[in-house]
């Protein structure tokens, strides 16, 4: 399966997509290869006491492709049960 770590040719075709529902509802983006799942992250604020090691925390949200949509823009629906 193709993922974000797979190098893509500079001329790889992209197509528009839209996220439905959830915290990223209405977000427009471009995807390559019509991935079945998109993972959206948002950084959370952290509080650290002096001398503590710094850590980053992110919210993770999963969007699944709506297979009924065949033409751009592709649509991805929020999956509240994931991850």
Mind listing the pLDDT tens digit for each residue in 37-73? 999 999 998 887 778 887 888 999 999 999 999 888 9
Backbone angles phi, psi at 69, to 5 degrees: -85, 115
Mind listing the pLDDT tens digit for each residue in 14-33? 999 999 999 999 999 999 99
pLDDT higher than threshold 60 for residue 3: no
pLDDT at 18: 98
Please report, for the chain, the start and end positions of each structural domain, with discontinuous segments joined by +. 15-79
The larger pLDDT score, comparing residue 79 to residue 12, is at 79
Q: Which residues of 29-66 are buried (b: 16+ CB within 10 A; e: fewer)?
A: eebeeebeebebeeeeeeeeeeeeeeeeeeeebbbebe
CA distance 24 to 35: 17
CA distance 73 to 4: 20
CA distance 46 to 17: 31
Burial class (CB in 10 A: 0-12, 13-18, 19+), 75: middle
When the pLDDT of each residue in the chain is averaged and rounded to a whole number, the result is: 87
């Amino acid at each position: 399966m193709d993922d974000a770590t797979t190098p893509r040719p500079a001329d790889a075709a992209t197509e528009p997509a839209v996220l439905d529902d959830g915290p990223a509802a209405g977000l427009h983006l471009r995807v390559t290869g019509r991935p079945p799942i998109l993972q959206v992250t948002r950084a959370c604020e952290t509080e650290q006491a002096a001398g503590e090691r710094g850590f980053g925390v992110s919210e993770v949200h999963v969007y699944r492709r709506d297979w009924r949509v065949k033409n751009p823009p592709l649509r991805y629906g929020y999956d509240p049960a994931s991850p």
